[in-house]
Structure 1
Amino acid sequence: MVEINSLKHSFNEHSINIASLAVQAMLYEVSCTPSPGLVSQTSSGAHTDMDYFTFLDSATSLINPLIHCTEAGFSSSTPKEIFHQLRLIGKLGEQQMLDKTSGVNTHKGMLFLLGVCCAAGGKALFGGTRFTSLQGIIKDMTSGLVERELSSRLLEFKNADKFALTNGERLFLHHKVEGIRGEVQSGLPSVFDFSLGFYKANQGLSQNHRLVQTLLAIMQFCEDTTILHRHSLETLKEVQETAKQILSIGGVATVQGLKAIEKMNEDFTNRKISPGGSADLLGVTVFLQLLEEYMVKLEPCFAPCSCFRLSKD
């Protein structure tokens, strides 16, 4: 793997473009408001250790690792080999993020999800396949992930110091929640099978309202591990039901719905409820819509040809 801090690497133009779309998606996600309990332009939500500018700093620090993630896909490597590279890139990317935010974890989950999606996009372009191939590529890359990193280590988790476990490992141990690993191993069904279509269907709204409406739509179904980690299963069910009720009265499309969202934001902020998992999936949704548009523009060139192989073989 190319050293992530190297300035000598000649990047594929598509890798730069795709990574920039991923950063754009992160900036969109944090910019929408009101986003109940989440950091936005106007509020730090349930958080006391970060604000809007922390997120801007974090998002911009990740352009380098995301370019490398996309580059990893532009190769003849197998999906499993690509995913191994992503794990190494991700660790370095996390450190860049933490250095920029003075140790605050703003985008760890988002980096993992977007890194996988960027690599899948790179692999699809390298192989001359279309956007519809991405879900299968993601499944191939992450096949067996839950078994390797969670199920097979269950006894190890039980014997470990609880403080030595990651949040995801702890939730799997106590609740059998597969979290982000289960989501990617299944090919991001929450996004490909639901939120991406929902986001497209609401393109008639303003960009801000479209993002908030899609966030609510994700929240009503998301098994949000951020909420589970900080609160309880009961709180998660309450969040899901509240989002569903607000959508049933029109969400951002009605005055009543907008008032309900504002009330929800105030309540979540006061109770320190942050649906961070839903926010990550919103960012992925925006990115995949941007990536699809990008790939459609390239379709006249679609074939596993030299224009996608720039020094990668």
Structure 2
Amino acid sequence: MQISAMHKALFVMPEAAALPRKLFKSRRLQNLRTDRTFAGQVSRVALRSLHAELLLYPKPGLVSPIDNGSHLDMTAATFVRSLFSLRRYFADVTLAGMQARDFEELKLLGIQAERRMLRATAGINTHRGAIFSLGMLAAAIGSCKAQGITLTAAAVRAVLLIQWGEALAAHTEPVTSESHGRAAAERYAASGAREEAAMGFPSIFEVALPRLHAAIDAGRGMEEAQMDVLFALIAHISDTNLYHRGGLAGAVLAKAAAQEFLDQGATSNPQWRETALQVHKLFVQHRLSPGGAADLLAATCMLQQCISQAVAD
């Protein structure tokens, strides 16, 4: 006996079948509008977090409105153009997370965003790592929202690993297309953004977020908290950007300088700006730029702000 589409709907969604068709369609549209509103909010937080990272100074070897750090090919204006190109992406990837899309669809959104970024910057890679890191977190935040899960750091990490962990682990395998980060990782056995994501971003959840909260709880402002996080990440992670620019010796130098800043009290030290500036000059002298740490800083700030907003709501 054949079962009609309408009868199938009765078994799959009995509550929907009971609704008048126009009312059901209206509710679906209303839900989509609500989802898009939430996705837009996450996108704005992501962009603000990336912009805050750009404004931070003095940060070792990185571009800011004050100077270009260790970079000859980009300025703060380059980063701003890049940010404008990413407005649509962070909303789209959050919505994809709300719709439980698979990793291949998330990756396609990231590839499209990277193309728009490169068009906006005339081929300069400003936010490739951020597209991946913040994009995966945005998708996980969207998934939490869609499932009605209270937004906490632990929940976001769990959803990330449960929803896309297997695909992320496979994504760490060697690929045919080369990048500076991949080449550095293979040469020096350094972990990069892919490995971070496959493990549920341990540097964010186990290093950066606790450091951020500790600085805020100690009464320091967001600028100081972000600076503490950045130096903690530089000291902790194996940043492929550092290996690419300075080799093993450069990465060791960068880690040691960051750790010394932390050992001196980080931003609780009244002279922290002078110390940070000296580290910045050291990185510029050796052409070192911890772009991976900068991406993870922005991702940490995005996550913290999204959780704070959820608590406030």
TM-score higher than 0.5 here? yes
User: Is the alpha carbon distance of 1:285 and 1:279 closer, same or farther for their aligned partners in structure 2, counting shifts above 3 Å?
Assistant: same
Residues 150 and 172 of structure 1 are in contact (CA less than 8 Å); yes or no, is this contact kept in structure 2? no
Q: Deviations over 1:126-170 (max 9, x none)?
A: 00002231101111344245653444x4xxx7xx7xxx5223432
Partner of 2:24: none
| Greater RCO (CA < 8 Å, at least 6 residues apart) | 1
Among 254, 259, 267, the alignment partner of 1:244 is 259
Among 225, 228, 235, the alignment partner of 2:250 is 235
CA distance in 1, matches of 2:92, 2:168: 24
Equivalent position amino acid for 2:269 in 1? T
Equivalent position amino acid for 1:45 in 2? G
Residues 118 and 125 of structure 2 are in contact (CA less than 8 Å); yes or no, is this contact kept in structure 1? yes
CA distance in 2, matches of 1:179, 1:72: 24
Residue 86 of structure 1 and its aligned partner are, at CA, apart by: 1.1
CA distance in 1, matches of 2:168, 2:310: 30
- Does the residue aligned with 1:35 lie in a helix, a strand or coil? coil
Q: Deviations over 1:9-65 (max 9, x none)?
A: 966110000111000100011111000100112111000111112111211221101
2:61 counterpart of 1:48: no
Among 183, 197, 205, the alignment partner of 1:184 is 197
Using structure 2 for the length normalisation, give the TM-score: 0.83
CA distance in 1, matches of 2:220, 2:83: 25
CA distance in 1, matches of 2:190, 2:60: 23
CA distance in 2, matches of 1:134, 1:70: 13
CA distance in 1, matches of 2:182, 2:306: 31
Equivalent position amino acid for 1:92 in 2? Q
Equivalent position amino acid for 1:240 in 2? K
Residue 212 of structure 1 and its aligned partner are, at CA, apart by: 1.5
Among 194, 197, 210, the alignment partner of 2:207 is 194
User: Is the alpha carbon distance of 1:146 and 1:12 closer, same or farther for their aligned partners in structure 2, counting shifts above 3 Å?
Assistant: closer
Residues 191 and 239 of structure 2 are in contact (CA less than 8 Å); yes or no, is this contact kept in structure 1? no
Residues 102 and 164 of structure 2 are in contact (CA less than 8 Å); yes or no, is this contact kept in structure 1? no
The count of corresponding residues between Structure 1 and Structure 2 is 277
CA distance in 2, matches of 1:261, 1:248: 13
CA distance in 1, matches of 2:143, 2:262: 37
2:123 counterpart of 1:103: yes
Q: Deviations over 1:265-289 (max 9, x none)?
A: 1121122110111111110111011
Partner of 1:218: 233
Q: Looking at CA atoms only, which structure, 1 or 2, has the larger radius of gyration? A: 2
User: Is the alpha carbon distance of 1:29 and 1:230 closer, same or farther for their aligned partners in structure 2, counting shifts above 3 Å?
Assistant: same
Q: Deviations over 1:270-313 (max 9, x none)?
A: 22110111111110111011011122234xxxxxxxxxxxxxxx
CA distance in 1, matches of 2:115, 2:284: 28
Residues 251 and 258 of structure 1 are in contact (CA less than 8 Å); yes or no, is this contact kept in structure 2? no
Structure 1, gaps ≥5 residues long: 1-8, 299-313
Partner of 1:5: none
CA distance in 1, matches of 2:164, 2:180: 20
Partner of 1:304: none
Equivalent position amino acid for 1:230 in 2? R
2:136 counterpart of 1:112: no
2:52 counterpart of 1:28: yes
Stretch deviating more after TM superposition (200-209 or 128-137): 200-209
Residue 97 of structure 1 and its aligned partner are, at CA, apart by: 0.9
- Does the residue aligned with 1:39 lie in a helix, a strand or coil? coil
CA distance in 1, matches of 2:168, 2:186: 12
Partner of 1:308: none
Among 284, 296, 305, the alignment partner of 1:269 is 284
Stretch deviating more after TM superposition (105-114 or 255-264): 255-264
Residues 25 and 284 of structure 1 are in contact (CA less than 8 Å); yes or no, is this contact kept in structure 2? yes
Stretch deviating more after TM superposition (242-251 or 277-286): 242-251
User: Is the alpha carbon distance of 1:177 and 1:142 closer, same or farther for their aligned partners in structure 2, counting shifts above 3 Å?
Assistant: farther
Partner of 2:16: none
Instruction: Report the RMSD for the aligned CA atoms in angstroms.
Output: 1.9
CA distance in 2, matches of 1:114, 1:55: 16
Please give the residue correspondences for 1:59-78 in structure 2 after superposition, counting only pairs within 5 Å. 59-75=83-99, 77=100
CA distance in 2, matches of 1:45, 1:262: 11
User: Is the alpha carbon distance of 1:172 and 1:264 closer, same or farther for their aligned partners in structure 2, counting shifts above 3 Å?
Assistant: closer
2:162 counterpart of 1:140: yes
Among 224, 229, 240, the alignment partner of 1:209 is 224
CA distance in 1, matches of 2:276, 2:57: 10
Identity %: 27
